[in-house]
Amino acid sequence: MAIHKKIKFNQSQEDAAAAFLTAAPDAKLESNKSKTYEKGIAKGHKRQVSITIAPELLRKVDERAEAMGMGRSALISMALYSILKK
């Protein structure tokens, strides 16, 4: 693999590139970065939280997750998303 020098852009090229990228429909707004929810422990683009759950409920969650072929965390996330979507 060859090592190349970094291409130097002038300010108008950088401004044009930034305008192009921010005009994209899937572009993230800068204001969203300042509104990052800081609760929990950062794990990639998600947050890890700790909950306390009754053993019987946990057993049912694990059984349902196994029956659906997914992990406990995925099942809980899916259930929460479904509840909050309403």
Q: Which of 25-29, 39-43, 70-74 has the highest mean pLDDT?
A: 70-74
Please state, in angstroms and rounded to a whole number, the distance separating the CA atoms of residues 29 and 34: 10
List, for residues 52-82, the tens digit of each pLDDT value: 999 999 999 999 999 999 999 999 999 999 9
Does 44-86 carry CATH code 1.10.1220? yes
Which residue has 């401004």 as its token pair?
Answer: 15
Domain boundaries, the chain: 44-86
User: Cα dist. 12→5, 18, 27, 68, 78 in Å?
Assistant: 20, 10, 20, 53, 45
- Token readout for 27 is 């572009």
pTM attached to this predicted model: 0.54
Token pair for 52: 């306390």
